[in-house]
A and B are shown apart, each in its own frame.
Chain A
Amino acid sequence: MDLSTIYEILASALRMATPLLFACLAGLYSERAGVFDIGLEGKMLMAAMTSAAVAYLTGSAWIGLGAGIVASLIFAAIHGLASITFRGNQLISGVALNFVASGATILISQAMFGQGGRTPPLNGAARFHEMTLPFADALRPVPVLGPLYADVLSGNAILVYIALLCVPLSWWVLYRTRFGLRLRAVGENPESVDTAGVSVVRLRYGALMITGILCGFAGAYMSTALQAGFGREMTAGRGYIALAALIFAKWRPWYALWATLLFGLLQALALRPDVIQGALHLAIPGPALDAMPYILTVIVLAGFVGKAIPPRAGGQPYVKER
């Protein structure tokens, strides 16, 4: 196995990690606010379909992205209505929305385009294309770091860089702003926020809106950058892997980056059985690699790698009492 294959796989890992990272950070905001959101998958799917359809119709990937975010936000708002306002069960609401998304995306795209639940292939400005980062070619000769910069980091769609920037941004929002302080507090002990005179409901809706926006990015990336169009069930469980990554990351932004990169790497390897066979002289079936994120998450949950303590008020609707 030569170096260029390694760089290839790393580049692929970064691409695979991007939707996971968006979705993982999306889940981080809602879960930190005390709202479990198992509907990341559904929101991503809605966003993927909507942004591909709108990008095809308008010929603009950016307008597609905007539309995808709106679709995802609508689903986030429904989840909020069910689980915050009406204090319903958050898991059931999330699962229900996933089912709705799964059916609705196929139904709508079939009704619009009649191509078996797919959107027509995107090209030109309707897609996010690879962009070359400055000095990529100049830095390539630098050993190790050069190719890492030029061949792995550079040459990706702009959404990849937005995802990476979201990591420090989320850290800063969470730990350095008033909103972040309140967000973390409302997920730990909503009564403390309520008695401090801050609205629990408003905070939680705010968190869900951020979740919706980030899921919109995740979905749009899938259909307008990673691939050129929407295909049925194209998110393929990434919303659940993102939740697994969130636990793996112990609900922290930087850990979320490492967790999703690791899971992305596993997905990239699953796509290249030849590489593993070449390196290990062992045939590991792709599905086994696909299962790794879940296995790793179970190991973390079992407490083998430090303890993952979820936000204390997670999953419980807030009811005021004495």
Chain B
Amino acid sequence: MTETPTPSERQATAAPLGDGAAVPPAIELRGICKAFGPVQANKDISIRVMPGTIHGIIGENGAGKSTLMSILYGFYKADAGEIVIHGKATPIPDSQAAIRAGIGMVFQHFKLVQNFTVLENVILGAEDGPWLRRSLARARTELKRLAAEYEIDVDPDARIEDLSVGHQQRVEILKALYRQADILILDEPTGVLTPAEADHLFRILAHLRRQGKTVLLITHKLREIMEITDTVSVMRRGEMTATVATAETSPRQLAELMVGRKVLLHVEKAPATPGREVLSVRGLSVTDAAGVARLKGIDLNVRAGEIVGIAGVAGNGQSELLEVLGGYAAATGEVLMNGTALDLSARADGRSRRRAGIAHVPEDRHREGLILDFAAWENVAFGYQDAPEYQKNALLMDNAAIVADTRGKIERFDVRPPDPFLPARGFSGGNQQKIVLAREIERNPDLLLIGQPTRGVDIGAIEFIHKRIVELRDAGKAVLLVSVELDEILSLSDRVIVMFDGRIMGERLTAETDERELGMLMAGMTETATGAQA
């Protein structure tokens, strides 16, 4: 849908430049900083959003978008910086203050009481007095008015648990409007929606804009930014890298700004000599619990002695692919490992995958790779606790053998500090990753699945980890690498597959492609579409 935002387009160009507009911006953030421990989630963020516009904030997962919005909604307190609402400096210490300032927020995970009715959820915290009767009556008439004004139709007496996800989201929007919000923040609103529901949401947003509301749309989907926003800011690693008018930018430029272009880390490696096919995936599809298709018919193969990199903006199905191959998510389709079909039902597990020759270094090592409170030696045994060399007899495990093995791994992988008894929590990110990597690689798997191998890992360890992955390839093993870091994909893989929206957008030999081309594919544009755009 292409709304023609007559007033907003004029303001859109004014917003990023900020040259003395008569109307003060609806939202102005000045120098917002926020750190969580050593991690700088927001670095000196400044932004201006004019009233009656839809402003997009785009960036990869972990870029700091949600943190910034949580600060604006009073969930977090900024370490430094100033919030100005409609030209007035407005400190926002808590959500109550945000609501008073006319800010409403629709969180990615809805904040609704499941067994309450729509009406009860709408008035919660915004009641008209100690007795409910009057509040409920007023909310009922008010919802009728809002339904007519914004095309947001929800049965006020329905229980939340009986509503579809799309309807639940509309309740969240109604909640904000009922509280007289004139600034609405939506955090990744389409992540849980079907395409039809997403279209309806955008129609509602267009309505809101027409009524003079200001909308902040947080997303990592370029299509949405191009479709609905007037201006867009790009965030990367906690910094706001650019703010531009949507009409004056292109998906390609945004993709570049999002992914960034830093110096390529050079990895020494000889040309690959791929051998037989190790992994073959045909028509792999996954639908999540909410009924949203996450993988839509994936076909790919990985051969012995090559590294295949899966590139893509986070959230386009890469995680689901790893989960299915790792054995902890169900899927339909066919996966052959060394010619044998893998069990894709919900009964599959990591153990059967390991037996089939698949090792897995998961994307989220804190949640899936390690038990942080357990010692390094215990973590080394996880998943391989049945290995014969770890058993003393039929009943008891040989802890001494595991510790000895851990000492060996610590030495070979240069884990610091070299203490097998230290809890996993006590190691730095890079050393934690080395422990996981040592556990998986040294089992000599035919196929290594590795997700975000260097996320939260320091430069020195990155180099080491990359070298190990290449060594594994040179030993004739197959490697499937998933990373949102394009540099990493380019420097490690022999072949690159780009995923977008649960599909494979394209496949390139690393030697024959570049960042620009991959960026386009990551943005969901094929060559033909490129031609049309240019």
Contact = CB atoms under 8 A, between A and B. Distances in A.
B129 interface: yes
B22 to A, nearest CB: 32
Contacts of A197: 94-99, 125
Interface residues of A, number: 23
B273 interface: no
A177 B115 CA distance: 17
Contacts of B129: 178
Contacts of A37: none
A179 B125 CA distance: 10
A309 to B, nearest CB: 8
A123 interface: no
Given A176-B131, A193-B124, A198-B125, A188 B116 contact: yes
Interface string A68-86: 0000000000000000000
A197 B132 CA distance: 18
Interface string A184-218: 11001101111111100000000000000000000
B107 A195 contact: yes
Nearest to A192: B111
Contact of A181 (B66, B97, B107, B123): B123
Nearest to A194: B95
A176 B105 contact: no
Interface centre among B112, B135, B175, by most A CB within 10 Å? Answer: B112
B131 A320 contact: no
B82 interface: no
Interface in A168-188: 175-182, 184-185, 188
B95 A181 contact: no
B126 interface: yes
Given A194-B95, A322-B75, A189 B112 contact: yes
A177 to B, nearest CB: 6
Nearest to A186: B113
B127 A312 contact: no
Contact of B120 (A179, A181, A193, A195): A181
Nearest to B109: A191
B67 interface: yes
B130 interface: yes
A55 to B, nearest CB: 35
B70 interface: yes
B250 interface: no
A178 B120 contact: no
A191 B111 contact: yes
Nearest to A320: B75
Nearest to B128: A178
Contacts of B98: 197
B133 interface: yes
Given A197-B94, A197-B96, A185 B130 contact: no
A176 B94 contact: no
Contact of A192 (B75, B96, B121, B133): B121
Contacts of A182: 124-125
Contacts of B94: 197
A192 B160 CA distance: 13
B112 A177 contact: no
Contacts of A188: 113-116
B386 to A, nearest CB: 33
A245 B494 CA distance: 66
Nearest to B105: A195
A307 to B, nearest CB: 13
Contacts of A181: 120, 123-124, 127, 132
Nearest to B75: A320
Q: Which of A194, A312, A322 has the most CB of B within 10 A?
A: A322
Nearest to A175: B132
Interface centre among B70, B95, B123, B133 (most CB of A within 10 A): B95
B134 to A, nearest CB: 10
Contacts of A192: 111-113, 121, 124
Nearest to A188: B113
Interface size range of chain B in the complex: 20 to 34
Of B67, B112, B125, B135, the most chain A CB neighbours within 10 A belong to B125
Contacts of B107: 195
Contact of B116 (A177, A179, A185, A320): A185
B118 to A, nearest CB: 13
B131 A178 contact: yes
Contacts of B95: 194-197
B23 to A, nearest CB: 28
Interface string B71-103: 001010000000000000000001111110000
Contacts of A191: 111
Contacts of B121: 192
B71 to A, nearest CB: 11
Contacts of B75: 195, 320, 322
Interface in A85-134: none
Interface string A292-319: 0000000000000000000010000000
Q: Which of A189, A192, A320 has the most CB of B within 10 A?
A: A192
Nearest to B125: A196
Contact of A322 (B67, B124, B127, B135): B67
Contact of A195 (B111, B115, B116): B111
Nearest to B73: A195
Given A192-B124, A195-B105, A196-B124, A178 B132 contact: yes
A189 B121 CA distance: 11
Contacts of A184: 113, 116
Nearest to B126: A196
A195 to B, nearest CB: 4
B111 A178 contact: no
B483 to A, nearest CB: 23
Contacts of A195: 73, 75, 95, 105, 107, 111
A175 B133 CA distance: 10
A189 B127 contact: no
Contacts of B66: 322
A195 B99 CA distance: 9
B124 A177 contact: no
Given A192-B111, A195-B95, A195-B107, A185 B132 contact: no
B303 to A, nearest CB: 41
Given A195-B95, A320-B75, A322-B75, A312 B114 contact: yes
Given A188-B114, A193-B124, 14 more contacts: A177-B132, A178-B130, A178-B135, A179-B130, A180-B132, A181-B120, A181-B123, A182-B124, A184-B116, A188-B113, A194-B95, A197-B95, A197-B96, A322-B70
The 6 closest A-B pairs by CB, nearest first: A196-B125, A197-B96, A192-B111, A178-B127, A197-B95, A195-B111
Interface of A: 175-182, 184-185, 188-189, 191-198, 312, 320, 322
15 contacts: A177-B132, A178-B130, A178-B132, A178-B135, A185-B120, A185-B124, A189-B112, A189-B113, A192-B113, A193-B125, A194-B95, A195-B73, A195-B105, A195-B107, A322-B66
